[in-house]
Structure formats: C-alpha cells, structure tokens
Amino acid sequence: MLQSSSYRFILLGLLMIITAWIMVFAMIINLIQETFFLSFISYGLGLGGFFIGLLGVFTTWSQEKEQQEIEELRRAAKQNQDKYQPYFLNFDAEDEDFQEFLEKEEERENEG
C-alpha cells in the first residue's frame, strides 16, 4: 500500500511542476495577466512539486532497499538453517540485562 502511495507522490509532484511551468509560460506569452499572486502560486507549485516528488522517490528507494535486505536475510537463513539463530538468542550469559530477563521469566513461570 505504501508503495502505491509513494508513486502517487511522484506523480503529484510531476503534475504540480508541469502546472507551474504552464502557468509561467502562459504569463510570458500574455495568455493570462501576470500578477504577484499568480507568480507566487506558480513558484510555490513548482517548489512544492519538486519536494513532494523527491519524497516519493526517496520513499520508494528506501522501501526497495528494505525489501532487498529482508530477502538477503531470508536467503541467508535458508542456506545456514543449522547455524541461524535469531538476534535475541545471542545474549551474553554474563550480561546483567540477560540475567534480569532470566529471573523475570522464572518468576512468571512460578506465578503461572
């Protein structure tokens, strides 16, 4: 869902930039009267479209990178099934946080 949303951002940004260019072109050839407000709106549309488009591009890029990393982890886990351990099982036995975790787990087991 977020993937389609990022493509919408790209298309919205492109549409805003094209609209700004058309407005500026129409003001240059005197198709519409040039005013400060209209110039400000066309500038804002162009700048906003640029940033919205960049937001869509960067969102798409980060999603693809994240998906690639997930696939690499899955592939590595399949290749090394006997060596693979989730990160939460790699506690150091002498770590204080790990010892606290073990104590709390024992208390929960004793209560239940």
> Token match 């993937």: residue?
3
* Angle ∠(63,64,67) on CA atoms, nearest 5: 85
> Three-state secondary structure along the chain?
CHHHHHHHHHHHHHHHHHHHHHHHHHHHCCCCCCCHHHHHHHHHHHHHHHHHHHHHHHHHHHHHHHHHHHHHHHHHHHHCCCCCCCHHHCCCCCCHHHHHHHHHHHHHHHHC
Whether 104 maps to a domain, the answer reads no
Question: For 45-80, how does the pLDDT look when each residue is reduced to its tens digit (9 = 90+)?
Answer: 999 999 999 999 999 998 889 888 888 878 877 777
Whether 72 maps to a domain, the answer reads yes
The domain tally of the chain equals 1
Domain that holds residue 68: 2-83
Whether 20 maps to a domain, the answer reads yes
The pLDDT assigned to 78 comes to: 75
Question: For 24-38, how does the pLDDT look when each residue is reduced to its tens digit (9 = 90+)?
Answer: 999 999 999 989 999
Whether 112 maps to a domain, the answer reads no
pTM: 0.61
> Token match 């790209």: residue?
10
Whether 91 maps to a domain, the answer reads no
Of 12, 15, 42, the closest CA to residue 27 belongs to 42
